[in-house]
Chain A
Amino acid sequence: MTITRRVLTTAAVLGIVLLSGCSDAHLPLDISTHGKEIDDLFWLITWIVGIAFIATEAILIYCIFKFRTRAGAKAQHTHGHHGLEMTWTIATAVILIVLAFYQLGAWRTAKMPDWNKLRASNPVEIQVLAKQFEWNFRYKDKDGNFTVCAPTGELWLPKDRNVIFELRSADVLHSLFLPNLRFKQDLVPGTRIYQWVQATKTTKERRQELGNDDFDFEIACAELCGYNHYQMRGKIKIVENDEFEAKIKQLSEFGCPDIWDRWDDSRSYTEAAMKARLEESKHHGTEEGGD
C-alpha cells in the first residue's frame, strides 16, 4: 500500500471510531453552584489543546507527505534557529503561566471557601462515614445533635442550600465522588475533612426532564478500597428544603447503625477496624465467583 492510502485508511478508521464516541463526549449534567467554573475551565483547556493538537498533528502529516524521499531529494542542513526556539518557548510559557494562575480561583472556591461565610449561611451539616463498602450519612436532629441516620447509601440533600460535609473513614481510604455536583474528596482514616457543596436541582425535577421515574443522581467511591470498591455506590436524593426538613424529622424516628460507634474513635477504631477486617476476610472467598 502506498503511504497515502495507508495514512488515509488509518485516519478514516480512527475518525470513525473517534466520531462514534464523540456524541458521548460530554461532562455529566452539572447541578452545582461551583461547577460552572470547573466546566468552563475544562472547555477552555479543550480549545487550547485542541488548537495545539490540530496544528502539530497537521504539520506532522504534512511533513510525511511533502518531505518523503524521492530521487534526488536533499534535506536542508540546519541545526536550529534561535529566534524560532525563543518564540515558541516564550509563547508556550506565557500561555501556560496565564492558564495556571487563571485556574487558582476555581480551586479556591471549591476547596478553600470562606468557612465563616458558609457557616453563617444556614447550611445543612452532614457527617459522612465511609466504610468498606458503604456510605453512611448522619444529620442533626432538632436539638442540633447528630443522631439522624439516612438509610445506608442514601444522601439526602436540600436544593439551593449550602451543605457542609464532615468526612471520616472507618477503615481505609475512600473517596466521595458526586459527579453531577463536581465533588470529589478522599476520606482518610484518622482525619476529618470538611467540604461543601450546593445543589441547584431536585431529583424530581430531573426525573421530569428525563421522563424517567427511576432516575437518581449517583455516588461513586473514587479511591480503591478493597474487593467491593466497585459496589460502593449510592444515590443522592435532592429535594426542596421543606421536604428535606420533613424527611429528617421522619428519619429521626429510626436509630443509627452500630458503625457510627466508630465516628468519635478516630485513632483506635482503625485498629479495631483492621482486626474486624481480618476476621471478616477469613469468611470471604465465597463472593461472586471470586475463588
Chain B
Amino acid sequence: MTETEHQADAGHEAPAPDAHGHDDHHDHHELSFIRKYIFSTDHKVIGIQFLFTGLAMFILGGLLAIGVRLNLASPGDLWFGPILHFLGLAGAPDAAGHYMMGGDKYNMLFTMHASVMIFLVIIPLLTGAFGNYLIPLQIGARDMAFPVLNMIAYWTMWPGIILLCLSFIWGGSVSGWTAYPPLSTTLSGASEGPGQTLWLMGVFTIGSSSIMGAVNYLTTIVKLRAPGMTFFRMPLSTWALFITSILVLLGTPVLASALFMLTLDRTLGSTFFGVAGGGQPLLWQHLFWFYSHPAVYIMILPGMGFVSDIISTFSRKPIFGYKPMIYSISGIAFLGFVVWGHHMFQSGMNPALGMTFMISTTMIALPSAIKVFNWLSTMWHGNLHLTTAMWNAIAFVSMFIIGGLSGIYMASTPVDIQIHDTYFIVGHIHYVLFGGSMFALFAAIHYWFPKMFGKMMSERLGKIHFWITVVAFNVTFFPMHIIGMAAHPRRIAFAWDSVNNQGYAFLKHVQYLNVVMTVGALALGVAQLVFFYNFFHSVFKGEKATANPWNAATLEWCAAESPPPHLNWGPTVPVVYNGPYEYSSPLAGDKDWIPQTQRPEGA
C-alpha cells in the first residue's frame, strides 16, 4: 500500500493497461487499526485527520478571538469577568468588583488568535485536509506520489501544535503573529521566558509540514493523472491547489529562514535584526512578508477553486471562462510575490518602494476581479440548486467582493498613511479570511462530506448555521471599516474605558461599535455550535449517501463510491474523456450532465 502503481502520463488518450499488483498483496494482509486510521498513508485518511485537527484548532482560535473582543467591548469591567479570571486572563477584581485584563494578556490573545487561525486552521484545512482528500480523487490517481511523506507531513503538525500550546504556559507570544523585532527579540510574555521562542519553533515545524505537502501535491498532479486527464481537464479545485503548492514551496522556506534567524537572535546572541550588532529590524519585515503575502494567497486560492467546482455543480452550468480562471489564479500567484512591500509602506523603508509596490498591489486586484466576474457569469442563466454548499459558496463570492474591494484602499500608499495599523485593515483581513476562506471551507465541507463519510449532512441545520453565520459575521466585521476610518488603531487593548474614564478621547464616539461587534462575535461563536453538531451527528447518524448525490461531473463524484475504498478506484483506474464541468450540455440527452468518464458518442 505504500507505492502507487505507474500511470499513463499527460496527453495519452488511449487507456493504458492498468497494473494492479497492489491489490494482490492487499488481499493477503489486513492492516491493523493503527495502520489504517492513525499512522495511515492513505491520502483520504490523512485528509480527514487534517480536517479534524483543523476544526479543533478553529475552536481554540475562535475562543482566543472572543477573549480579544471581550476586552474591547468591556475593558473597565469585563463581561464574563470571573471566567476570564479563572483562565488567568484577568486579574483579581478591584475594590469595585471589576475585572480587568492587562496589556500583556491582551497582546497574547490577539497574537495567538492569529497564529492559530493562520497556521493551525486555514492553511491546514485548505491545503492539508482538502489538498490531500481531493487531489488524487480529482485526477484519477490511487494515492499521492509519496504516501509516507504525506503521513509524516500530518504527524509533523503535532509537534508544532504542542510547541505553540506550550508557549501558552510562558505567556505565549505577545509580539503579534508578525513577530517584529526588536520587540520579539527582547521581551517575552509577562516576564522573561521562552514563550516567543517556543512560538518560533512551533511555526517553523508547521511550515515544514506545509512544504512536505506541497512537494507531494505538485509531484502527484504532474505525474499521476489518469489517462485522458490532461491539465486542462482538471477541476479548478485541483488547479488552485496546484498553484497554491507552488506558492507554499517557494515562500515557506523564506519564512523558515527568517524564523530561524530570529530564534538565533533570541537564543545565541546573533544580531540579524539587532541594531547593536549591526543588524536591521527592517530585514525581518522584508523576509517575513516575502512569505506572508503569498501566504494570504495560499489561504484564499484553494477556496476559490472549491467554490468554482461548487458553483458550477449547483448552477448546472460549466464554469464561465475556465482558462481565464486558471490564468487568473496564476496571475494572483505570480503578482503575489511582488507586492509584499505594501505591508511596509509606513515602515521606514525607502519611500520610492512605496511607489513600485503601490503599482503592483493595485494590479493584483485585476485577476481577483476577473474571477468574481466569472463566478457571476456562471450563475447567470444557470439552474441554481440552493443547497447549503451553494449558499456558502455564494457567500464566499459576496464577502470576497467586499474584502477585495477594501484592499484597493490599502493599495493606495497615501491613503495607507491614514489607515495602516487601524481597524480598516483588520476589517479587510477578516472579510477575506473568514468571509472568504471560512465560507469556502464551510461550502467545501458540506459538499464533500458525503464523499468523505458516506453520509449526508443535514441541509436544515446547514442552512440555519449558514444564515446565522452570515449575519453575525457582517455584524462583527463590517463596523471595523467604520472605526478604522475613525482612526481606531489595531492591537490596542481598548479604545475607551467608560468605567474608569480612560483611553482615546477621539474614539469615544465609536466605542459603541466595539460593543456591537463583540455581541456579533459572541453570536458568531454560538452559531458554530450548530455546525459542529451537524458535522459530528451526521458522521454517525447521517442519512446514507449515494456515490454522487450532487450529480457532479468530476471524477471523485462520477467514478468513486462514497467513501471510496482504499486505492480509490477498484480494479481499474478511470479514463477521462471530458472536461470537468459539462452540465446542461445539449449532448447529454435526458440528463443535465456528462461525467468526465463518459465516452463520447461514436468514440
Contact = CB atoms under 8 A, between A and B. Distances in A.
A and B interact physically:
yes
Contact of A17 (B355, B370, B474): B474
Interface stretch (B51-59, B405-413, B560-568): B405-413
Interface stretch (B10-18, B140-148, B379-387): B379-387
A176 B389 CA distance: 46
B421 A38 contact: no
A46 to B, nearest CB: 8
B99 interface: yes
Nearest to A289: B91
B346 interface: yes
Contacts of A48: 408
Contact of B471 (A10, A37, A101): A10
B190 interface: yes
Interface in A205-245: 214-216, 218, 220-231, 233
B317 A76 contact: yes
B570 interface: no
Interface string B381-423: 1111110000000100110011001101101111101101110
B546 to A, nearest CB: 19
Nearest to B352: A112
Q: Which of B186, B315, B421 has the most CB of A within 10 A?
A: B186
Contacts of A172: 181-183, 186
A118 interface: no
Contacts of A41: 412, 414-415
Contacts of B494: 230
Given A10-B467, A218-B505, A49 B405 contact: yes
A231 B103 contact: yes
A91 to B, nearest CB: 10
B346 A100 contact: no
Nearest to A221: B489
Contacts of B90: 289
Nearest to B90: A289
A15 to B, nearest CB: 10
Interface residues of A, number: 112
Interface stretch (A136-144, A149-157, A158-166, A187-195): A187-195
A79 B384 contact: no
Nearest to A80: B321
A287 B103 contact: yes
Interface string A80-92: 1100110011001
A38 B278 CA distance: 36
Given A37-B414, A100-B362, A100-B411, A271 B318 contact: no
A100 B405 CA distance: 14
A60 B369 contact: no
Contact of B414 (A13, A103, A270): A103
Contacts of B412: 41, 45, 99, 103
B505 A290 contact: no
Contacts of B598: none
Nearest to A84: B377
Nearest to B479: A21
A252 B270 CA distance: 42
Given A230-B494, A289-B102, A183 B586 contact: no
Contacts of A68: 384, 386
Contacts of A215: 505
Interface residues of B, number: 121
B174 A80 contact: no
B408 A28 contact: no
A60 B487 CA distance: 32
A80 B322 contact: yes
B306 to A, nearest CB: 18
Nearest to B472: A13
B274 interface: yes
Given A28-B506, A67-B382, A110 B417 contact: yes
A220 B494 CA distance: 12
B105 interface: yes
A189 B282 CA distance: 10
B101 A290 contact: yes
Q: Which of A22, A27, A67, A288 has the most CB of B within 10 A?
A: A288
B104 interface: yes
B334 interface: no
A67 B190 contact: no
Nearest to A179: B487
B282 A290 contact: no
Interface string B500-514: 000011100110010
Contacts of B318: 77-79
B346 A67 contact: no
Given A41-B414, A229-B491, A281-B187, A75 B315 contact: yes
A289 B100 contact: yes
B338 interface: no
Contacts of B583: 75, 77
Interface in A37-51: 37-38, 41-42, 45, 48-49
Contact of B370 (A52, A88, A101, A177): A88
Nearest to B183: A172
B30 interface: no
A266 B376 CA distance: 56
Given A63-B376, A107-B355, 17 more contacts: A3-B386, A13-B471, A17-B478, A24-B482, A24-B509, A41-B415, A42-B415, A63-B379, A80-B320, A96-B363, A184-B417, A186-B346, A216-B505, A224-B176, A226-B187, A285-B190, A290-B101
> Top 10 nearest A-B pairs by Cβ distance?
A289-B91, A290-B102, A190-B275, A271-B276, A179-B487, A106-B414, A230-B492, A227-B103, A100-B362, A76-B381
Interface of B: 90-92, 94, 99-107, 174-176, 180-183, 185-187, 190-192, 274-276, 278, 280-282, 315-324, 346-348, 351-352, 354-355, 358-359, 362-363, 365-366, 369-370, 372-374, 376-377, 379-386, 394, 397-398, 401-402, 405-406, 408-409, 411-415, 417-418, 420-422, 467, 470-471, 474-475, 478-479, 481-483, 485-487, 489, 491-494, 504-506, 509-510, 513, 516, 581, 583-586, 592
28 contacts: A10-B467, A17-B475, A41-B415, A53-B402, A56-B373, A57-B401, A73-B383, A75-B316, A76-B584, A79-B318, A79-B322, A79-B581, A89-B366, A89-B370, A177-B489, A179-B506, A190-B280, A190-B281, A191-B348, A214-B505, A224-B175, A227-B174, A230-B492, A270-B275, A281-B187, A281-B191, A284-B191, A291-B102
